[in-house]
Structure 1
Amino acid sequence: MPLASQRVGRRERNKQEKLDRITAAARELFAERGVDEVTTQEIADKADIGAGTLFLYAKTKGELLLLVQNSSYADALAEGTSAAGSIPDVLDAVMAIVRPVVECNRKQIDNGRTYLREIVFGDPEEPHHRTALGLTVQTEQAIADVLQRDGRSSAADAATLAHIVSAIMFVSMAATINIAKPVDDVVQEIKTQVQVLLPR
């Protein structure tokens, strides 16, 4: 193997190792104290890197939260989509997609609400933000696929309905009035609204 290939491989491995350490440090500190109570310096110290290095991977604390939460969101979406595949009832299948997303978003409620704010108002040019937006698109597509199953919705209508379901989910998860509500109550609130939308 040429020396240049070995150097590039080692450099990429080192970058990935640093990213993994940053992600683990941020995940642990955010889970313990919440994103608002953690400084970027604390994350850099825990990851055993300099603050300048940290900012090469994420420019703000919000971007660090996106980095951490995106992997949880992706796992939740995969779980929900898989479960929905074996559920014949359209509403129940949609809610099978929604529930794990709500659960992962509410493991640490303040972090979850901040994550939603970052998705909506963050910089779409930032890579972690782009990933989060991509996950919302994937969520809507998974919901649209379910909505087309029974033939009552065209592809265009299903896409529009899925976008509305996504908006309902975001508002229900982010709403201040729902901060103290358990996951089951938030999911039921979403289900009640989605049920009204579905073609009869």
Structure 2
Amino acid sequence: MRDPRAPRGRRERSKQDKQERIRAAAMELFALRGVSGVTTEQIADRADIAIGTLYLYAATKAELLIMVQNQKFATAIDDGLAAAATITGTIDEVLALIRPVVACLREHVENGRTYLHELVFGDPTEPYRREGLTLAGRLEGGLATLLARDERINPRDAAILARVITAVLHLSTTATVYMDRSIEEVLADIREQIQSTLAQHTRGDEVRRPW
């Protein structure tokens, strides 16, 4: 068995270098032109590799987009979890976690919408989609953990509510009718929906306190 601490071989280093060049080229072109305005050939040219080589790393343009967006999505979740740990109040904690994710998805609206669509409707066994779905599960798990801190919400209900909130997040960031909304407008809409959802969930409690 190869010692993981041993230096990487030339072939492995070359493979990693090509993947990073593809990722960088795709990230730059998608940011400039949007996913619909870029071809795989253009990404291959920017990465200075043959188109056949590019297909060894990502079979479609959608997979290239997911590769790029996964990296951004992971960073957004990390930032959100860190921000949520510094404040108190269920809704404020949830919004602190969601804010960087919304900003990530709305950085380029077309790319964000396409990314979420591909995660939901694409092949879940494809490696980049599988990675993206794992990240989505991490976000949902983070939301459930925050919600379960409130004594009025048991862990099972927290998990259900976390799924509801992720559905709200998905709709609010992808629906065509909301395309022209700013990040702050999207977040305000999400806050209202979360407040309504949690208020209905806790209605009838003997002990009431502000969220």
Amino acid at match of 1:42: Q
1:144 corresponds in structure 2 to 144
Q: CA deviation at 1:178?
A: 0.8
How far apart are the structure 1 equivalents of 2:7 and 2:77?
A: 36
1:114 corresponds in structure 2 to 114
Q: CA deviation at 1:118?
A: 0.6
2:155 corresponds in structure 1 to 155
**Count of equivalent residues:** 197
When residues 7 and 83 of structure 1 are mapped into structure 2, their CA distance, relative to the original with a 3 A threshold, is: closer
5+ residue gaps, structure 2, are 203-211
Q: If each structure's helix is expressed as a fraction of its own residues, which one has the higher value? A: 1
TM-score normalised according to structure 1 size: 0.95
Q: CA deviation at 1:9?
A: 2.3
Backbone CA RMSD of aligned residues: 1.6
2:205 corresponds in structure 1 to none
1:27 corresponds in structure 2 to 27
Amino acid at match of 1:187: L
When residues 39 and 196 of structure 1 are mapped into structure 2, their CA distance, relative to the original with a 3 A threshold, is: same
Amino acid at match of 2:51: A
1:16 corresponds in structure 2 to 16
Q: CA deviation at 1:13?
A: 1.4
How far apart are the structure 1 equivalents of 2:87 and 2:116?
A: 28
How far apart are the structure 1 equivalents of 2:33 and 2:17?
A: 24
How far apart are the structure 2 equivalents of 1:127 and 1:164?
A: 26
Q: Does 1:46 align with 2:46?
A: yes
How far apart are the structure 1 equivalents of 2:50 and 2:122?
A: 25
Equivalent runs, 1:1-200 vs 2, <5 Å:
9-198=9-198, 199-200=201-202
Instruction: Report SS of the residue matched to 1:161.
Output: helix
5+ residue gaps, structure 1, are none
Deviation >3 Å, runs of 4+: 5-8
How far apart are the structure 2 equivalents of 1:38 and 1:102?
A: 23
Amino acid at match of 2:18: K
2:207 corresponds in structure 1 to none
Q: CA deviation at 1:26?
A: 0.3
How far apart are the structure 2 equivalents of 1:189 and 1:152?
A: 24
Task: Please give the per-residue CA displacement for 1:57-114, whole angstroms capped at 9, x wherever unaligned.
Answer: 1111001000000000100000000110121100000001111000011111111111
TM-score normalised according to structure 2 size: 0.90
Q: CA deviation at 1:6?
A: 8.0
